[in-house]
């Protein structure tokens, strides 16, 4: 039987000093523990995998730690070796209760929990209730816990955790100290993954870890799960190529090649990249996501160059593309990529949806772009427009009849040429429309003589 433990569990922090990226929460909790300013209810909010359950367990250990000598009290630095600390880490401490509100959301479940909360702790100093995904509780369950949540026994602490705080009633929020846990930055995730791999003795490439960090989207737990998968997929060495292959992602070179072909108006080359992706069984949804991400970074390079890390794997190519496409083109292509990804499920197939997105980028080139669209025969030749030049707007004017040329003077001794008879100028039409026939005698004659209706 294998004793392997996944990285997300093996490297879960067991004290406040080991927590990465949540300094604002750690500082507040450690000071409260040190000064004895303990609240009766805490609410941790944040996306999955940022440390809500981990912090609640460490907080429970800090409240119940006995110290290595068995004589300690409440502390911000739990020892990790006493019976209470080890029991909480192993999930067998009877006075630390974790409840999943997604599967225990009824008023009956909440009533049973509150009835047990009235009894004094069995082994620890405090009885700690951790309710995960608390927003899943029913309205009646929330109402049942309000009174106890506001005035619990002095030996009871409530820790609520949720990924959707907007669904938690205001009456509950007002009874808790709320801490919002932040998403991890890609740079912070890469740094932590490098430390773990160094401790594990596994070789890695920083670009590969960067891809994992971006794929985790701020979740350290997701990053560790992806790292576990990458180690198994690559056979021990985590490289950018193996990570891309594992995730079904296209290479940065292919995405950069598509944008360079777009700048040149070369539709056949763009379709060539799409065909290559299809042969490699690349996920076109991920390809459009990666294309939108690259366009975002290019837009930042054009406006705020310092916002893009210089160690980004595709920094050089993105900087080159930033000089080939105008900011207007980048913004338009970004929106087209987003809409193309949303419409991918409606397309005949993913290949058709992806290629139509690329062709849409070519078709809707801004009028002031540096390059006109390519010829219809698919050639890459396109006429260049100087940078900064704008096309003058075309003003449509009503055509006017050119004046007739002056008649030429007749030669001496020749008969005079017949002069053309000028066409009669039609009378101006009345604003009221054409004048009907068979008018009465008093309406005949010039308009000036008719007078206004009702005039005497």
Local confidence pLDDT in tens for the 456 residues of the chain: 457 888 999 999 999 999 988 999 999 999 999 998 999 999 999 998 899 999 999 999 999 999 888 788 899 999 989 999 999 998 899 999 998 888 877 888 888 888 888 888 988 899 999 999 999 988 898 888 888 888 888 999 999 999 999 999 999 999 999 999 999 988 899 999 999 999 999 998 888 898 899 888 889 999 999 999 999 988 878 988 888 888 877 777 889 999 999 999 999 999 999 999 898 888 899 899 999 999 999 999 999 998 888 877 788 899 999 999 999 999 999 999 999 999 999 999 999 999 999 999 999 876 655 544 444 344 333 333 334 444 444 444 444 554 555 555 544 444 455 555 555 555 555 444 555 555 555 455 554 444 444 444
* Contacts of residue 78, Cβ cutoff 8 Å, sequence gap at least 6: 15, 58, 61, 62, 65, 85
Same domain, 111 and 25: yes
Whether 316 is in a domain gets the answer yes
Nearest to 333 by CA among 375, 300, 365: 365
The pLDDT value given to residue 314: 81
What's the rounded Cα separation, in Å, for the pair 116 and 153? 12
Q: Crossing angle, helix 350-363 and helix 267-279, to 10 degrees? A: 160
Same domain, 16 and 154: yes
Same domain, 234 and 282: no
Whether 375 is in a domain gets the answer no
CATH of the domain at 153: 3.40.50.300
Of 363, 381, 400, the domain-final residue: 363
Let me know: does 106 contact 63? Beta carbons within 8 Å.
no
The pLDDT value given to residue 268: 93
Residue 227: domain span = 186-247
Same domain, 27 and 142: yes
Same domain, 48 and 140: yes
Burial of 191 (0-12, 13-18, 19+ CB in 10 A): middle
Let me know: does 21 contact 184? Beta carbons within 8 Å.
yes
CATH of the domain at 325: 1.20.272.10
Let me know: does 123 contact 84? Beta carbons within 8 Å.
yes
Same domain, 132 and 38: yes
**CA geometry: angle 170, 176, 178, nearest 5 deg:** 90
Same domain, 284 and 240: no
> How would you classify residue 413: left for phi > 0, otherwise alpha for psi between -120 and 50, otherwise beta?
left
Half-sphere exposure of 38 toward its Cβ, with a 13 Å CA cutoff? 20
The pLDDT value given to residue 112: 87
Let me know: does 131 contact 161? Beta carbons within 8 Å.
yes
CATH of the domain at 224: 1.10.8.60
Give the 3-state secondary structure of residue 16: helix
Whether 393 is in a domain gets the answer no
Nearest to 224 by CA among 181, 283, 251, 184: 184
The pLDDT value given to residue 116: 87
Whether 328 is in a domain gets the answer yes
Quote the number of domains for the chain.
Answer: 3
* Contacts of residue 328, Cβ cutoff 8 Å, sequence gap at least 6: 366, 368, 369
Same domain, 176 and 241: no
Of 247, 262, 294, the domain-final residue: 247
State the residue for tokens 């009824």: 106
Of 158, 180, 202, the domain-final residue: 180
Whether 239 is in a domain gets the answer yes
**pTM score, whole prediction:** 0.70
Which phi and psi angles does 41 have, rounded to 5°? -145, 135
Same domain, 134 and 267: no
User: In sequence order, what DSSP letters do the residues of 314-358 get, joined into one string?
Assistant: THHHHHHHHTTS-HHHHHHHHHHHHHHHHTGGGSSSHHHHHHHHH
Whether 452 is in a domain gets the answer no
Whether 444 is in a domain gets the answer no
Whether 405 is in a domain gets the answer no
Same domain, 173 and 190: no
Same domain, 220 and 276: no
Same domain, 282 and 300: yes
């Amino acid at each position: 039987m294998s004793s392997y433990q996944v990285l997300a569990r093996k490297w879960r922090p067991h004290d406040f000093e080991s927590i990465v990226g949540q300094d604002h929460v750690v500082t507040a909790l450690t000071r409260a523990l040190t000064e004895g300013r303990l609240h009766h209810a805490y609410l941790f909010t944040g996306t999955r995998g940022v440390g809500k359950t981990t912090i609640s367990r460490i907080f429970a250990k800090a409240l119940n730690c006995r110290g290595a000598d068995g004589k300690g009290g409440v502390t911000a630095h739990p020892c990790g070796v006493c019976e209470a600390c080890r029991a909480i880490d192993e999930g067998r401490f009877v006075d630390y209760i974790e409840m999943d509100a997604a599967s225990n959301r009824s008023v009956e479940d909440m009533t049973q929990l509150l009835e047990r909360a009235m009894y004094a702790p069995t082994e620890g100093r405090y009885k700690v209730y951790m309710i995960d995904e608390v927003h899943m509780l029913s309205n009646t369950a929330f109402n049942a816990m309000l009174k106890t949540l506001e005035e619990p026994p002095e030996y009871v602490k409530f820790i609520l955790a949720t990924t959707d705080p907007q669904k938690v009633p205001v009456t509950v929020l007002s009874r808790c100290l709320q801490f919002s846990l932040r998403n991890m930055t890609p740079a912070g995730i890469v740094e932590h993954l490098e430390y773990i791999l160094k401790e594990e003795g596994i070789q890695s490439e920083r670009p590969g870890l960067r891809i994992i960090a971006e794929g985790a989207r701020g979740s350290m737990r997701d990053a560790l799960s992806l790292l576990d998968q990458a180690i198994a997929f690559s056979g021990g060495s985590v490289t950018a190529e193996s990570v891309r292959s594992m995730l079904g992602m296209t290479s940065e070179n292919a995405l950069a090649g598509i944008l360079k072909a777009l700048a040149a108006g070369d539709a056949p080359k763009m379709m060539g990249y799409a065909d290559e992706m299809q042969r490699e069984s690349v996920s076109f949804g991920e390809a459009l996501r990666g294309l939108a991400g690259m366009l975002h970074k290019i837009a930042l390079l054009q406006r705020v160059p310092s916002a893009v890390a210089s160690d980004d794997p595709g920094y050089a190519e993105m900087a080159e593309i930033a000089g080939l496409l105008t900011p207007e083109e980048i913004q338009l292509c970004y929106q087209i990529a987003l809409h193309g990804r949303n419409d991918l499920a409606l397309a005949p197939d993913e290949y058709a949806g992806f290629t139509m997105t690329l062709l849409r980028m070519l078709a809707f080139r801004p009028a002031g772009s540096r390059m006109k669209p390519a010829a219809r025969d698919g050639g890459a030749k396109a006429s260049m427009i100087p940078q900064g030049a704008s096309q003058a707007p075309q003003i449509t004017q009503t055509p006017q009849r050119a004046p007739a040329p002056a008649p030429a003077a007749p030669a001496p001794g020749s008969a005079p040429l017949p002069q053309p008879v000028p066409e009669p100028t039609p009378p101006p039409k009345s604003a009221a429309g054409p004048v009907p026939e068979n008018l009465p005698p008093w309406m005949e004659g010039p308009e000036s003589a008719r007078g206004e209706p009702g005039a005497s």
